Amino acid sequence: MSVPPPATLSRHNQLLSRTLLVSSLTLLSRIAGFVRESIAASVFGHASAINDAFVTAWRVPNLFRGLLGEGAMTTSLQTALTEEDAERGEAAGRLLFWRLVRFVLIASVVVTGSVMLLAWLLPDVMPVTGWQWLGDHPGPVRELLLRMMPFVVFVALAAVLGGALQVRGHFASTALAPVLMNLWWIAALFLVIAHHPVVEPAQEYERQFDMARELAWYLLVAGGLLVIVQLPGLFKTGLCGRSTGTPGAPPSALDARVRAVWRGALPLAFGAAVYQINVMIGGLMAEGLLADGGPSILYYATRLQQLPLSLVAVAATSAVFPAMATLGQAGQREQLRRLHADTQLAVVYVALPAAVGLFVFAEPVMAVCFEHGAFGAEGVTRGAAALRGLAVAVIPAGAVGLMARCCYAVGDLRTPVRVSVWVLLLGIGLNWLFVPIMNLDVLGIALSSAFGAWLNLALLLPVIQRHLGTSTRLRERLWRVARMLLCALTSVGIGFWVWNFVADDRRSALSLTLGIGVAIGAYALLTTLAGLPEARQALQRIGLSRGRTAGGSG
């Protein structure tokens, strides 16, 4: 196995700075996303069958966005492109990249057409079981899904472009793309609202359906933005341009590499992105299992949960995986183990208090974000229950994504896939147990996702130890996590007491901001006093402390 030249390793020196860049742009994207969802909730309300249909239909192309942009295709492509750059040079890497672009374009068109055909042909009621998988309003779900599916073509292309740019050390445009997409979606909402003034209650269903149809078309424009924003980076990194030959690799060899990327992406779709798949399955089942408004409320709660998950775990994984793939390809297992462990600790340091905070502040967070316009108190109550269940999944879902990619970096595809299959089957069974049988409403779907995430984590832990070995600092790291948990519980408790003392209305954004701000400040102070290296690193990054960062560049 060849060792990558210094040029490929030097692209990934500033991992923490890069993670901060990706996290900052992800934060902007999430803020814009919350504004988008808040506007939609105020217009459609907490018991809209049409909005349920819209978010259910959107889950299908959005799953491909998660798999391709944050999961399988990007991960598989990055591994192949890293190897190509290291073994044959950047010119060969560029040729492989464009072969992948052509292949993914064709494959995404085929997948999109196949899903559209399947959605058109499947009956509203499943044979034998009698399950109404599209709920009580199958027409809107089916039509909106057909309108939205072409989004997959755009997101597949954006995933290939973004994954290649990250291998070449360029991360800004890939993180900026979702920001622009959400800003366009907000503008589209205002356009749709302006075109459809308020009508009589008897006509509200048709009004909302017309609005949803228009939004589905505007969504395709947003998909185009995801691709366009990547184009300048292609020129900057040298991925745009023509080579005068194929250094060390004939066209047939390149085609074989492309097929290998696709074969690697398919199992990784289950291994590295099982949580996203589980969430989508839960969302689709919600349409047939929950009363009107349930799928929308579950979707809004999931969006809130995704803030710490995407801002910290997904951003860190996206920033670190190219370096992990490089170390794995070079056979540097000790460095890979250290990078994996340090990244997991850094993620837990931020995600742990976020998960505790979401659980404790669930009701005021839902109220501040969504309780206005047509979205009422009943929706807040249902959403808060779902958010508490989803908060329990933040830590394992973030850890599993990084662990699965670590397995991929050392060439293990099968184990994460086997684990994922069992987790998905368990999730489907738990959805049926918690909702129709135990009548837990949206909380049941959320708890199913949480159980699956923790099971996935438990099954992957011994796999990681087998591949990378057990760290001699395991006890020290576990003790650090225990101190993080104690500090998180204490600081969030203080913040909630402050919120409860000053809040005269649960919809008060100022009171919620104060309570969360106090909790953040208390956590920073407590973890610093506890001597946690992650706290010192965080302070150094914002210029509040001096001295050498412990733990190296992880």
Question: Does residue 479 carry a pLDDT above 80?
Answer: yes
Q: If we measure between CA atoms, which residue out of 51, 78, 73 comes closest to residue 63?
A: 73
Q: What is the pLDDT confidence band of residue 369, given thresholds at 50, 70 and 90?
A: very high
pLDDT digits (tens, 9 = 90+) for 260-294: 776 666 665 555 556 667 777 888 888 888 888 99
pLDDT > 80? residue 337:
yes
Q: What pLDDT, on a 0 to 100 scale, did the predictor assign at position 146?
A: 94
pLDDT digits (tens, 9 = 90+) for 104-149: 889 889 989 999 998 888 888 777 666 676 777 788 999 999 999 9
Cα angle 318, 239, 244; round to 5 = 145
In DSSP notation, 450-481 reads HHHHHHHHHHHHHHHHHHH---TTHHHHHHHH
- Tens of pLDDT, residue by residue over 39-89, are 999 999 999 999 999 999 998 888 777 666 555 566 667 767 777 777 777
CB atoms within 10 A of CB 34: 18
Residue 427 to residue 448: CA distance in whole angstroms: 5
Question: Burial of 97 by CB count in 10 Å (0-12 exposed, 13-18 middle, 19+ buried)?
Answer: buried
Domain segments of the chain as ranges: 48-271, 272-479
Please give the C-alpha separations between residue 17 and each of 14, 41, 316, 428, in angstroms, as whole numbers: 5, 36, 11, 40
State the pLDDT at residue 552. 37
Q: Which whole number is the average pLDDT over 461-490?
A: 89
pTM: 0.81
The residue-averaged pLDDT of 475-488 equals 93
Q: Would you say residue 248 has pLDDT above 60? A: no
- Which residue in 21, 60, 22, 55 sits closest to 37, CA to CA? 55
pLDDT of 220 above 50? yes
SS3 state at 132: coil
Q: Which residues of 188-208 are buried (b: 16+ CB within 10 A; e: fewer)?
A: bbeebeeeeeeeeeeebeebb
Contact 271, 408 (CB under 8 A): yes
